[in-house]
Amino acid sequence: MTSKYQPKKKRVVVAMSGGVDSSVAAALLKSRGYDVIGMTMCFSLADSPKKKPNCCGPQGINDARRIAGLLDMRHYVVNMQPHLEKYVIKDFCQEYLKGRTPNPCVRCNQYLKFDFLLKKAQSLQAQYLATGHYAGILKSRRGFELRKAKDKTKDQSYFLYRLNQEQLRYALFPLADYTKQEVRKLAAKFKLPVAEKLASQEICFLPSPDYRKFLQSRFKYEFQPGPIVDKEGNLLGQHKGIAFYTIGQREGLGIARGYPVYIIAINPKENKIIVGKKEDAYCAEFLIRNPHFILEPARKKKIAVRVRIRYNHKEAPAQVFSRDGMLRVKFKKPQFAVTCGQSAVFYQRDKVLGGGIIDKVLKG
């Protein structure tokens, strides 16, 4: 990053999951003279008392506590289950039941880490909350800007786009200028026992990688089978419930057509899934709801940006139009599997402008 906001060295709480990233973030801040306190979120789900998530369960808590001890830091465990249930899991389930595909990590950062956990940090007279996210903060004349991290392959700014000025003011991302490989080397240098610990790739509150099992454990009678049809309405098969499917999916449909078939639309009102060829799953325009900008944008009816429609999607050039309180996004070239419920995040080079929830796909 060309410039980095450097606050005065004061007390900082580090959100520690027990993984290598948050552990190194804590060690870096400690080495720079900060008064560092570790804090670990605990999620204890009634659905799965014997299969708690690694990053927020007993193993993660023990690893975080051990790291805090090695670094001579105070460490606290905070029960986040009620807040997780209210702000993340409820939305997660409702979105899938509507045939949409949510992104719970975005809401976790917005409502849990940088709201509830930040308030906990401030109750300990801490001036900052730090995390192991790969992202950066730049202080400009207009305010605080969210930036991509040095390691573009690990950049997590996508998950942080809903943070506001007040949250960014108190946030620190110590890993902004490091690659994942450099972070592991730092962990070895600091003699942290989690230097080679594998990163969790799963949604933290799910007891298994399959979200469908989690939904079934909560809504045993909510899932109604329905028709799978082609674009012309011809019946091709039957689905097990729209919550179990997503746009762009081709596996698990049980349909043989002589060519690959993809889900191109989900109609929750008619409990119907529409499939087609891969080219049918592309679209160039969509509407978003609940838009959020990190800094108030210039009052323009149209802005040119690069848009990421899911975390592992390559940004693509687009124009964003503002009209009657809604935002319409139009890609220069159609993109594959634009999915309602996912976040569309706007970038200008390395700067995150903001974004919103994909609400409706517009097809010509």
> 154: which strand partners?
none
**Is residue 357 assigned to a domain?**
yes
Q: For 248-266, b where at least 16 C-beta lie within 10 A, e where not — what string?
A: bbeeebeeeeeeebbbbbb
Lowest-confidence segment of 121-125, 221-225, 278-282, 288-292 by average pLDDT = 221-225
Hey, what amino acid is at 192?
L
**Residue 363 to residue 282: CA distance in whole angstroms:** 9
| The two three-digit tokens of residue 210, written as one number | 């399959």
Hey, what amino acid is at 68?
A
**Is residue 4 assigned to a domain?**
no
Task: Give the model's pLDDT for residue 133.
Answer: 97
**Is residue 105 assigned to a domain?**
yes
Instruction: Tell me which residue range forms the domain holding 358.
Output: 282-362
- Give the CATH number for residue 328: 2.40.30.10
1-5: Cβ within 8 A, 24+ apart: 1/136, 1/138, 1/147, 1/150, 1/176, 1/177, 1/350, 3/138, 4/136, 4/137, 4/138, 4/176, 4/177, 5/137, 5/138, 5/139, 5/144
| Judgement on whether residues 41 and 132 belong to the same structural domain of the protein | yes
Residue 33 pLDDT greater than 70, yes or no: yes
In sequence order, what DSSP letters do the residues of 233-269 get, joined into one string? --EEEEES-GGG--TT--TT-----SS--EEEEEETT
Give the C-alpha distances (Å, rounded to integers) separating 93 from 44, 106, 127, 252, 333. 17, 15, 35, 21, 32
* Mean pLDDT confidence for 286-313: 89
**Is residue 206 assigned to a domain?**
no
- Give the CATH number for residue 45: 3.40.50.620
Task: Give the model's pLDDT for residue 51.
Answer: 47
| Judgement on whether residues 228 and 185 belong to the same structural domain of the protein | no
Contact 49, 39 (CB under 8 A): no
**Residue 46 to residue 63: CA distance in whole angstroms:** 23
| Judgement on whether residues 87 and 143 belong to the same structural domain of the protein | yes
**Is residue 208 assigned to a domain?**
no
Residue 325 pLDDT greater than 50, yes or no: yes
Residue 269 pLDDT greater than 50, yes or no: yes
**Residue 213 to residue 207: CA distance in whole angstroms:** 9
| Judgement on whether residues 240 and 288 belong to the same structural domain of the protein | no
- The per-residue pLDDT for range 115-151, each reduced to its tens digit, is 999 999 999 999 999 999 999 999 999 999 999 999 9
Task: Give the model's pLDDT for residue 201.
Answer: 63
As a whole number of Å, the end-to-end CA separation of the chain is: 40
| Judgement on whether residues 20 and 151 belong to the same structural domain of the protein | yes
- Give the CATH number for residue 256: 2.30.30.280
Residue 44 pLDDT greater than 90, yes or no: no
pTM: 0.91
- Split at pLDDT 50, 70, 90, the class of 58 is confident
| Judgement on whether residues 130 and 17 belong to the same structural domain of the protein | yes
| Judgement on whether residues 167 and 43 belong to the same structural domain of the protein | yes
E strand intervals along the chain: 11-15, 35-42, 74-79, 128-130, 135-139, 144-148, 171-172, 226-229, 235-239, 262-267, 272-276, 282-293, 302-308, 316-323, 326-336, 343-348, 351-362
Q: 């509507």: which residue's tokens?
A: 98
Give the residue numbers annotated as catalytic, written as ranges.
Answer: 108, 204
| Judgement on whether residues 103 and 17 belong to the same structural domain of the protein | yes
Hey, what amino acid is at 82?
P
How many CB atoms are located within 10 Å of the residue 345 CB? 28
Mean pLDDT (the chain) is: 90
**Is residue 194 assigned to a domain?**
no
Task: Give the model's pLDDT for residue 65.
Answer: 95
| Judgement on whether residues 172 and 122 belong to the same structural domain of the protein | yes
More confident residue, 252 or 274: 274
**Is residue 123 assigned to a domain?**
yes
Residue 328 pLDDT greater than 90, yes or no: yes
- The per-residue pLDDT for range 149-195, each reduced to its tens digit, is 999 999 999 999 999 999 999 999 999 999 999 999 999 999 999 98
**Is residue 215 assigned to a domain?**
no
| Judgement on whether residues 248 and 287 belong to the same structural domain of the protein | no
**Residue 42 to residue 214: CA distance in whole angstroms:** 18
Residue 46 pLDDT greater than 50, yes or no: no
Give the C-alpha distances (Å, rounded to integers) separating 147 from 14, 281, 298. 20, 31, 19
- The per-residue pLDDT for range 4-20, each reduced to its tens digit, is 555 556 899 999 999 99
| Judgement on whether residues 251 and 304 belong to the same structural domain of the protein | no
- Which of 244, 276, 308 terminates a domain? The answer is 276
| Judgement on whether residues 181 and 57 belong to the same structural domain of the protein | yes
Number of domains the chain is built from: 3
- Which of 249, 276, 303 terminates a domain? The answer is 276
